[in-house]
């Protein structure tokens, strides 16, 4: 009877070892959960960036104001009758 009890205790400890530290155990599960959380955070920032790009695309397709704004900022567009001022900061 005592040998049977020792064998059952050994099996219980073996199962507990595999549960906590073995492959697909609790530690692996926690590590994967942390990686999933990191991936979800990264995906959330990428979704936000994509939504901003889609709204900018819609603005460029629908109206000329967005096109004019980009031309002014990136290409230096100046209309007739306007005066261009450039402010240079002191270093």
Kind plus residue range of the DSSP H or E element containing 14? helix 2-21
pLDDT digits 0-9 by tens, 25-73: 888 889 999 999 999 999 999 999 999 999 988 887 887 787 888 888 8
Structural domain that includes position 43? 23-74
Structure tokens at 18: 């595999």
Looking at the domain assignment, is residue 68 inside a domain?
yes
Work out how many domains the chain is built from and give that number.
1
66 domain residue, yes or no: yes
**39 within domain boundaries:** yes
CA triplet 27, 31, 37: central angle to 5 degrees? 145
Residue 69 inside a domain? The answer is yes
In a domain? residue 82:
no
DSSP-derived secondary structure letter, 83: -
The pLDDT, as a whole number, for residue 61 is 85
Q: Compute the average pLDDT of residues 62-85.
A: 82
């Amino acid at each position: 009877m005592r040998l049977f009890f020792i064998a059952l205790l050994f099996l219980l400890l073996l199962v507990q070892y595999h549960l906590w530290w073995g492959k697909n155990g609790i530690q692996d599960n926690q590590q994967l959960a942390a990686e999933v959380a990191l991936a979800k955070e990264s995906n959330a920032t990428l979704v936000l960036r994509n939504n901003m790009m889609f709204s900018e695309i819609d603005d460029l397709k629908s109206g000329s104001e967005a096109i004019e704004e980009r031309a002014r900022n990136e290409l230096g567009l100046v209309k007739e009758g306007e005066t261009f001022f450039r402010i240079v900061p002191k270093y």
